[in-house]
Amino acid sequence: MTVELVTDIMKEGLFVILKTAAPPLFVSLIIGLVVSIFQTVTSIQEQTLTFVPKIVGMFICLMLLGDWMLNNMITYMTNLYQNFALYIR
């Protein structure tokens, strides 16, 4: 197993992590930004106001994109396990 092969596996793994985690993080970021603008405009200083919209947004995001996210992780792990014989040489 060469250094280049290890770095390629790590690079692909990190890319899968970033690609899989990006949609829920962006949904949370957008909802947090909208709620904070709403709080600023209306002068409501309730700290717990952001939790319910974020939870609902994350739930909807995971319902819509959960299959795609799981398929990304399964594809990466399947490719990793199928090429395992090449890695131990």
Query: Mapped to the 3 state alphabet, what secondary structure does 9-22 carry?
Result: HHHHHHHHHHHHHH
In this prediction, residue 1 has a pLDDT band, given cuts at 50, 70 and 90, of: confident
Asked whether residue 48 carries a pLDDT value surpassing 90, the answer given is no
With beta carbons less than 8 A apart as the criterion, state whether 31 and 50 touch.
yes
Asked whether residue 35 carries a pLDDT value surpassing 80, the answer given is yes
Please compute the mean of the pLDDT values over residues 22-33 and round it to a whole number: 95
pLDDT at 47: 81
